Every structure is written in structure tokens, then in C-alpha cells.
Amino acid sequence: MRVFLSVLFTSLGLLTASAAEKPNVIFILADDLGYSDLGCYGGEIATPNLDSLAKNGLQFTQFYNTARCWPTRGALMSGYYAQQIHRDELPGLGGGGRGVRPSWARLLPDFLKPAGYRSYHSGKWHIDGPVLEAGFDRSLDMKNQGNFFSSAGNAIDDRPVTTPADEKGYYATVATADHAIGCLKDHAAQHADKPFFHYIPFIAPHFPLHALPEDIAIYRDKYLKGWEAMREARYQKQKARGIVNTELSALEKEVGPPYDFPDAFEKLGSGEINRPLPWDSLTEEQRRFQATKMAIHAAMVDRMDREIGRILQQLKDMGAYENTVIFFASDNGASAEIMVRNGGHDPQAEPGSAATFLCLGPGFSSACNTPFRRHKTWVHEGGISTPLIAHWPKGITARGELRTSPAHVVDIVPTILEITGVEKPKAWQGEAIPEAPGKSLVPAFAKDTTIARESLWWLHEGNRAVRMGDWKLVAAKGDAWELYDLKTDRAEAHNLAAQMPDKVKELEAVWQKQTDDFSALAKKTAHLQPAAPAKGKGKGKKKSGAK
């Protein structure tokens, strides 16, 4: 039987733990990265290391996140929609960034540990509870997400760092890779007989737009032609590669940042704008200001790729590269947000330095999310679409192929459990574990097949959507449902709701049933959730898009 299975898995183009040595697993997560930012997804930013992983592995073209950072991270590591585990809000039930997972909602390391895996975390956390209590053996928790040039407030193995607030030469993206490499070196020296799981969530390219001066210099003048030109160039590359089969979405001039911070514009000056207006209608000052922000964003992505290259080299140096499954994705689409917080913004300081606080904004966010509509927080395609690269020399025989099956971050846990040969328990400490919604993507490793499922579901801050097959029903908060055929219209340009009311009702019923089921599950532990803080003056956030 074992020989038969080995032949079977080999014929499918992959190996599993039952047929070979257990693979290592690395999941790399970017923060606020646009769908088209990587070179292999149409971008002009230099990302040779990630491009190489795609060239020698797989690119998923219809992979989804939850539209926001903390729900995606909770879903990614647990295998459940964030609303099922109190990590995003449900109507009348609360939940979100302060939500606490039920005791049965274990994270991936707890399931891998009995199989002999050691687990490491390097980067942003943004999941409830201490990292080590979630089953990780080592951690660098980048709690300081407001200054890339300081480690103040970060934690190592859940203990605050003792280094000075600002260290000369410190940069968060480099520090994340340094810690990851240190964990890998220690693993090779002390635990070479065990497989590992390493979760590496970079903060980049999340705001504030902070980058090393030498990296910014590479892109300083690259975006002076504007966001329309950038979108068109990326779109043409995507079409030529076969990544998309849709028209290019129209810029939505009336849609700005998702939240209003009017005082930010006083601090940022007359170069800032909050709508994706025609580039040729902007002043010279505005064009330079916007192009500089995009240059810093590009520099952050470029540097992240370089640091990923260092991690890949360490894998090669320790002889682990061939049998390490490497995934790469983003937690949401590029962000249209504009705000000033943390240390504030000095308009006289060099853009991208520690004294500045810049955000990408809706113009270049639209370009980064090419060819899709909207941005982070919305559940239109621009907010929820992410690259997914899967690379595993020893287990995936396909090289440079696209995978078109719709998939979601809830699929990552079952995928990793299958490739590591780990069976998820039915209960945790005597408490039954509810059935998880995700599906293993392993069948798609061998060929471009559609993973069977009833639907994919979204809800974030009143923005809601459901996808069944190629049909998607979507609505921004307060708006009517829109219906799109994603087989040819992922640009969400042709709303079919008025023409197909029965299809709208069908999908709406599916969305509502999912919502009701998630609410019924969440109610069981709602009494264990912390009370929501009272909103004081200035703490409220107002949606400003699509008005």
C-alpha cells in the first residue's frame, strides 16, 4: 500500500509526508500589498526573489483574504472565518480587533506540534493572546507598527525588547528577516532532526510609508507619469501573462479613503489629495507628492523582497530549501487610507524618514490593486484579492504555472495539514471542534483544477459579499447588492442585479445563511468577550467612500 501511495502521489506531481520526509513550511505575509505589486503579477517593482518562487512554483490568480489585517491573520492561522472566532464583527454580536478566540479555536502550531514540528514567528502578530501560548516556540512580535526605524514596544518571546527606542541602522523589515534567519540557524544547529513551520508576517508596505533612503532613490522619479499610466502598464502585463481575463476597472473618482481624518490634510499640506482624480488635473506639487509616496511604497516592497532573498539563501545554506513549502500572500489589498498618527508628520523632513507619516491614498492604491475596484476594507475585488505563490521543489513538479481556482486564506490550514500528514483532532481538551470551512488546495498543486466548495463569504464593517462559482454578490456598507459574473468581469464593471433578480435572491440567501450560522456559533461564547470600549470624542471613524 505504501508503495502504491508513493506512486500515486508522484503521478499527481507532489509528495506528502506519508511518502517522504516531512516537509518544512514557511508562510510569508505582506501587509497592505496590492494585487499587482509583484513583478510576477504585473508590477514594475523589482521583486526577483518572489518572481523566482513563482517561476519555479505556482501562482494562484483568484486567491482571497478578508479585506483587513486582523481578520485575515486570525483566519489564516485558525482555518475559520474571523467572524466564527470573534476576530471580526457580526451584526449585534461585536467582535473584531479586541475579540478573543474560543478555546477550541487553536492555531496551526498546536496541531503541528504533536507531529514533531517546531514553530517560529517573525514579524507582525495582530492575533489575540500571547504568541508562545498559541504554540510557537520562538517569536519576534513587531508591536511597533508606527515607526519602521525603531524597535521600541516590540517583544521577543512575548517579553518587551530592552534595546533603546531608536537604534541607528535599525529598519523593521530587515529586523524581521534577521530574526527569521536566526531562528532557522538555531533550528539547523539544535533541532535538525525536526521539521519546522515558520510564519513570517512583514509589516511592509503598510503605512507609515517608511523606507531606506537608498531604496527610495531607485524609484524616486518612476511614477511621475501618474496612476493611469501605471494601471495601464500593469494591466497589459497581466493580460499578456494570462493572470486576468477582464477589462480594466474604471477609476472611481468619488471614492476616497474609507475613514475621515480631515486634520490630516492640514498636517500633510497641499500636495495631498483624497480622490483618484485625473493625473493631468493635479498641480505639479500634487503630482510630485503623490509620485513620491508611491516611490516609498515601491521601495518598501523592493526591500521586503530582498530580505526574503536572504531567508531563502539561509534555507539553501542549511539544506532545507528543496523540502520547504513556501507560501506568499498579502493580508488585504492596497490601502486608500490617509491619516497622521503615532509620532506625527514633519513636512520639512525627508519623505519616508522616521519623522514623516505618509499613506498611499486612493490614487496609487487603485493602481496597486490593478485591475480591480476599491481598496482595503471593501470586499470588492480590490480589497480582497491577493497574490498567492506556492513553491516546493520536492513536492510540486509544476513550474511557472497559473492556478485559477478561487481560494481563501481559510484554506491554508487544511492545505498545510494535508502536506504535513497531520490529522486535525475532533476535540480540544474535551471540547468539540466545529467543522472548519476551508478546503485543501493540494489537488491544485498538481493541475489547474477547481476546488469544490459551496461558496466564499465576506463581511467587514458592513461591506459584504458572497461568491458561488463565478457569480459574486457584493455591496459596500449602506449600498444595494451588486451582481457580477467573475468569469469575464472581475473588474466588477457590469452590474447584472437588475437583469437577474432571481440570482440576486439566491446568492443573498446563501450569504444570509452563512451569516446566521456564524452568529449561532459565535453566540455560544459571546459572554466571554471583553466589553467594547466607550467611544470618546475623536475616536469615531466615519466612512467616506462611495458617497
Q: Answer for the pair 430, 87: CB distance below 8 angstroms, yes or no.
A: no
pLDDT of residue 532: 72
pLDDT band at 241 (very low <50, low <70, confident <90, very high): very high
pLDDT of residue 1: 34
The angle that helices 412-420 and 69-78 make with each other, rounded to 10 degrees, is 30
What is the average pLDDT across 274-282? 97
Q: Is residue 186 part of a domain?
A: yes
Q: Is residue 48 part of a domain?
A: yes
Q: Model-level pTM?
A: 0.94
Residue 432 three-state SS: strand
pLDDT of residue 163: 72
Q: Is residue 546 part of a domain?
A: no
pLDDT of residue 95: 86
| Domain CATH code at residue 510 | 3.40.720.10
Dihedral sign, Cα of residue 416, residue 419, residue 420, residue 425: positive
CA geometry: angle 380, 80, 404, nearest 5 deg:
50
Instruction: Spell out a b/e string for 71-105, using b for 16 or more CB atoms within 10 Å of the CB, else e.
Output: bbbbbbbbbbbbbbbbbbbbeeebbbeebbbbebb
pLDDT band at 467 (very low <50, low <70, confident <90, very high): very high
Residue whose grid cell is 500515486: 8
Q: Answer for the pair 203, 31: CB distance below 8 angstroms, yes or no.
A: yes
pLDDT band at 231 (very low <50, low <70, confident <90, very high): very high
Q: Is residue 155 part of a domain?
A: yes
What is the average pLDDT across 369-386? 98
Q: Is residue 59 part of a domain?
A: yes
Residue 465 φ/ψ, nearest 5 degrees: -165, 160
**Domains in the chain: how many in total?**
1
Q: Mapped to the 3 state alphabet, what secondary structure does 472-487 carry? A: EEEECCCCCCEEEECC
Residues of the chain with pLDDT > 90, as a percent, come to 89
pLDDT band at 5 (very low <50, low <70, confident <90, very high): very low
Q: Is residue 538 part of a domain?
A: no
Residue 11 scores a pLDDT above 90: no
**DSSP letter (8 states) at residue 490:** T
pLDDT tens, 305-332?
999 999 999 999 999 999 999 999 999 9
pLDDT of residue 66: 98
Residue 306 three-state SS: helix
pLDDT of residue 10: 39
Q: Mapped to the 3 state alphabet, what secondary structure does 79-143 carry? A: CCCHHHHCCCCECCCECCCCCCCCCCCCCHHHHHHHHCCEEEEEECCCCCCCCHHHCCCEEEECC
* Measured distance CA(465)–CA(379) in Å, rounded: 6
Q: Is residue 510 part of a domain?
A: yes
Q: Answer for the pair 199, 193: CB distance below 8 angstroms, yes or no.
A: no
pLDDT tens, 471-495?
999 999 999 999 999 999 999 999 9
Q: Cα 188 to the chain's mean position, in Å?
A: 29
Residue 413 scores a pLDDT above 70: yes
pLDDT of residue 535: 56
Find the domain containing 312 and state its range. 2-439+446-528
pLDDT band at 166 (very low <50, low <70, confident <90, very high): low
pLDDT band at 14 (very low <50, low <70, confident <90, very high): very low
Residue 118 scores a pLDDT above 50: yes
pLDDT of residue 164: 62
Q: Is residue 535 part of a domain?
A: no
Q: Answer for the pair 163, 153: CB distance below 8 angstroms, yes or no.
A: no
pLDDT tens, 90-106?
998 888 889 999 999 99
What is the average pLDDT across 394-402? 97
Residue 256 scores a pLDDT above 50: yes
* Measured distance CA(420)–CA(440) in Å, rounded: 12
β-pairing, 471-475 with 385-391? unpaired
pLDDT of residue 534: 60
> What is the chain's Cα-based Rg?
22
